[in-house]
Each structure stands twice: as structure tokens, then as C-alpha cells.
């Protein structure tokens, strides 16, 4: 597979970080960085990463099956993650979640028909003092209100 030069640069640094003979250590970060470019851990990507880390494809599958953020199917162009864990719940996280489901017509881990937005009810994202919080891909948004959520979603739709 060919990756962007930026990703290749990141990967070539990454593989130097592990002790001799323990290249498997690079597996999870490598999957994360590649998934961001490819969109999902496809079969082709599984084989590519397995060969770069010197492990079997089964060892890659084992890991992909375990970690919530690794996915074999692509999510939307923007992945909207709404935290409803306790600190966010106490500041209206569940209302945000219900509002987003209703507005987008999709549920947990589903993708909008045009592929632009996907939705996930996430566990604590470490924004508890700035609740309720959401993430769009890797960007945090703090103190989110229903109005602000509407703006964010409408903005994403316009970008399409």
C-alpha cells in the first residue's frame, strides 16, 4: 500500500521506538495512524501492517477486535462522539445524545446515508470539568449546548 509522505515519515519514526525484536509494539499506534488515512482497517491494511510489524494477520485481527477505536468498517467523514458518562450526564450529555440521534436519524455507531456524519455514544473522553463534551473526529468541544450542537452538525452538512 502507498501512504502519504507524512504518514510514512511518522511510521518510519514509530518503528524505531521499540526494542530489537519487539516490533510488534508498534502495532496499535501504526493501526491508529493508518486507519486515519485509509478510513478503516481494511483487509489490505491488515496485511500491510502485519508485514510492517512482522506479525501474522491474525495478531492484527486480535487487536482490532479488542480496541473500540479500531474499526474494520469506515465511519462517516466526520465522526461525532457524544459523551454521556457521569460528569457529562450531569450537565445534559444524554439530552445532547438524544438530540443528535433525532436530528441525524441515525443511532450508535451508524453512518448517515451520504457518509458525511457518523454517531457514537462514547464513554468518558476526559473532558469532565468542561461538560458536556463531544468530539468531532479528534477535536474536542466543551460546554456544548443543544444550540451549539445544532450549529456544529449544520456546519458539517454545509461542508459537504
Partner 1 sequence: MEPLLHPEPHPAETVLLSKRFRLPNSRSIDTFLANGGFQSFRKALAMTPDQIVDELKASNLRGRGGAGFPVGMKWGFVPRTGAKPRYIVVNADESEPGTCKDRVIMQYDPHRLIEGCLIAARVIDSRRGWIYIRGEYRYLIDLMDQALEEAYAKGWLGKNIQGTGFDFDLSTHSGAGAYECGEESALLESLEGKRGNPRIKPPFPATSGAFQCPTILNNVESYAAVPDIIEMGGAAYAALGVAKAGGTKLTCLTGHVNRPGVYELTLGFPVRKMLEEVGGGIRNGRKMKAFIPGGSSCPVLTGEEAWEATMDYDAMAKLKTMLGSGGVVIIDDTTDMVKLALRIMRFYKHESCGWCIPCREGTLWLTKLLTRLDEGAANAHDIDMVGELAENMLGRTFCALGDAAALPTISIVKKFRHEFEAKIASSSVSMTGAGLVRIHS
In the DSSP assignment, the letter for residue 65 is T
Is the C-alpha dihedral spanning 57, 61, 62, 64 positive or negative?
positive
How many other C-beta atoms can be found within 10 angstroms of the C-beta atom of residue 86? 11
Q: For partner 1, which is the closer residue by CB, 141 or 157?
A: 141
* Binding span for partner 1 by CB under 8 A among 1-9, 64-72, 96-104, 148-156: 64-72
Segment interacting with partner 1, rule: CB under 8 A, options 27-35, 72-80, 97-105, 149-157: 27-35
Site string for partner 1, 35-54 (x = CB under 8 A): ------------------x-
- Of the two residues 56 and 160, which places its CB atom closer to partner 1 in the complex? 56
Return the SS3 of 72.
coil
CB 97 within 8 A of CB 82: yes
Amino acid at each position: 500500500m502507498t501512504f502519504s509522505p507524512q504518514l510514512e515519515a511518522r511510521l518510519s519514526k514509530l518503528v524505531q521506538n521499540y526494542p530489537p525484536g519487539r516490533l510488534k509494539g508498534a502495532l496499535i499506534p501504526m493501526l491508529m495512524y493508518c486507519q486515519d488515512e485509509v478510513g478503516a482497517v481494511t483487509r489490505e491494511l491488515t496485511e500491510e501492517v502485519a508485514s510492517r510489524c512482522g506479525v501474522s494477520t491474525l495478531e492484527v485481527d486480535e487487536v482490532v477486535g479488542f480496541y473500540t477505536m479500531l474499526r474494520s468498517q469506515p465511519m462517516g467523514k466526520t465522526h461525532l462522539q457524544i459523551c454521556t458518562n457521569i460528569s457529562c450526564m450531569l450537565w445534559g450529555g444524554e439530552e445532547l445524545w438524544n438530540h443528535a440521534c433525532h436530528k441525524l436519524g441515525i443511532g450508535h455507531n451508524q453512518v448517515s446515508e451520504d457518509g458525511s456524519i457518523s454517531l457514537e455514544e462514547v464513554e468518558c473522553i476526559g473532558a469532565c470539568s468542561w461538560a458536556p463534551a463531544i468530539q468531532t473526529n479528534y477535536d474536542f468541544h466543551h460546554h456544548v449546548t443543544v444550540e451549539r450542537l445544532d450549529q456544529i452538525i449544520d456546519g458539517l452538512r454545509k461542508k459537504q
